[in-house]
Structure 1
Amino acid sequence: MAKDYPAGHTVSSHAHPSGQLIYAVSGVMEIRTGTGLWLVPPQRALWMPAGVAHSMRTRGSSVALRTAYVRLDRCPADAPGQPGAVQVSSLLRELILRAATIPRDCPEDSRDGRILNLILEEIVWTPERELHLPTGRDKRLATICEAILSSPQDNRTLDEWASQHGATARTLSRLFTAELGVPFQVWRQQVRVMAALPRLAAGEPVTTVALEMGYDTPGAFSAMFKRLLGASPSRYFP
């Protein structure tokens, strides 16, 4: 399926009876489930298992969406049972683009059918550096998470957040690790990377983005970006 969405467009929560490979040729998508959110740039796709409710929002610019639906009886045995990022190779990208033009009722033993089958063969079901951001269940934690998501450049310390939400810094630190799996500082760094990606993809200078994300220098921002995503901003968006 091929669909184009304008910047800021939202698709409300829904689920599919089939597996779904969600990919955007251009633009950055934010995909939310009940357990967190993923940011999906053109270098990645997101595998969404059947029956998992999710919503979508375009971030920063328009999105050219190309989605592949996979029947349950054709889902690979090693496909993850939870949403997960998939690295998109040059071949996988071209296969998805070609598949969007293929009639849904094409014979499986035809050339078109073989192209569709090759998509599943090209997916590497191995852990990637996922752009996944879990969100907390504790009300205090959830409130702080939403505030940081709204203003990633906010440099308030955990002590300052604690004093404003009726908790101690020690309690919040424990909640971040227990519910989100990472310390407060790491979670906030992940938020900043996610907020920066659409802007970097649109061509904004690294220096501008770094300073507006709350960093004193572009070098500090680039080091954090590389630590989380495995490549510097200039190499991630060549």
Structure 2
Amino acid sequence: MYNVSINLLDATPRAVVAIGTDYPDGFLLARHRHRRAQLLYGATGVMQVRTPAGDWVVPPQRAVWIAPGVEHEVLMLGVSTRSLYIEADALMLTGECQVLEVSALMRQLLLAAVEMDLEYDQQGRDGALVNLLLHELRAAASLPFHIPLPRDPALLMRCQAFLRTPDVHQSPAHWAGELHVSLRTFGRWFRAETGMSFSQWRQRACVLLALARLAQGEAITRIALDLGYDSPAAFSSMFRRTLGQTPRSLRDQ
């Protein structure tokens, strides 16, 4: 099934509905929610998913799990998607949202799933395909591609401003001054709101925002300088410490 809204198919009497969709580059899927859980896989391009709890950057050949009822919007950067909409009693992963590794087997199963009949034979080949997909999903590794956002309005506003113009050299002392609290109070406050220290959050935000630009083919040197790194080598080192791969290797993927 291709290029059709889940809203038209939600009542289908099957545990899994598979839909393939092609999006124009830069398309923003406005804030919405689904009754079913969603596995959103990007066969090409990069997706940036935003929920009230934070942002997730989804590189090519990875997927994002979105729990039932979670409000979200998605920026599609050259993306062709394959989505599974899953009834809660068939599969429920932990958390509201997470980026998942997609195995070679899962990738082929996702591509095959959108070719199935909507009301597929649950006892036949397509039913076995769906069951295998659900087994692969349960075993999929979660990836650290999440930028958590605070709930406090003042701190949230400051974090959102940083995500618009990231700078690896912004200091916690600068943020504490702008928010009129001591450095120690700011450190405790930031960790309580995001689950991370400020330096960890700043580093992850810069790396994941860079990842989205890399996947669109931007030069490593340009990205490194825009983020405030002293050199492409310094940027590559930080990138590898955070994601376990160099910018070049991820771009080539």
Q: Same fold (TM over 0.5)?
A: yes
| CA RMSD between the two structures | 1.8
CA distance in 1, matches of 2:165, 2:243: 21
Deviation at 1:148, TM superposition (A): 0.5
Matching of residues 84-233 of structure 1 within 5 Å: 84-125=98-139, 128-153=142-167, 155-233=169-247
CA distance in 1, matches of 2:234, 2:168: 16
Superposed CA offset, 1:8-36 (max 9, x none): 32222222221211111111111122211
Structure 1 length-normalised TM? 0.90
Provide the secondary structure at the position in 2 that maps to 1:142.
helix
Task: Decide whether aligned partners of structure 1 residues 54 and 163 sit closer, same or farther in structure 2, where only a CA change above 3 A counts.
Answer: same
Provide the secondary structure at the position in 2 that maps to 1:57.
strand
CA distance in 1, matches of 2:173, 2:57: 28
Q: In 1, are the aligned partners of 2:100 and 2:142 still within 8 Å (CA)?
A: yes
Deviation at 1:127, TM superposition (A): 5.0
Provide the secondary structure at the position in 1 that maps to 2:89.
helix
Task: Decide whether aligned partners of structure 1 residues 137 and 152 sit closer, same or farther in structure 2, where only a CA change above 3 A counts.
Answer: same
Paired AA for residue 175 in structure 2:
W
Q: In 2, are the aligned partners of 1:26 and 1:63 still within 8 Å (CA)?
A: yes
4+ residue runs of structure 1 moved beyond 3 angstroms?
124-127
Paired AA for residue 91 in structure 1:
L
State the partner residue of 2:63: 45
Structure 2 length-normalised TM? 0.85
CA distance in 2, matches of 1:185, 1:156: 9
State the partner residue of 2:79: 63
Identical residues among aligned pairs (%): 39
Paired AA for residue 224 in structure 1:
M
Task: Decide whether aligned partners of structure 1 residues 179 and 125 sit closer, same or farther in structure 2, where only a CA change above 3 A counts.
Answer: farther
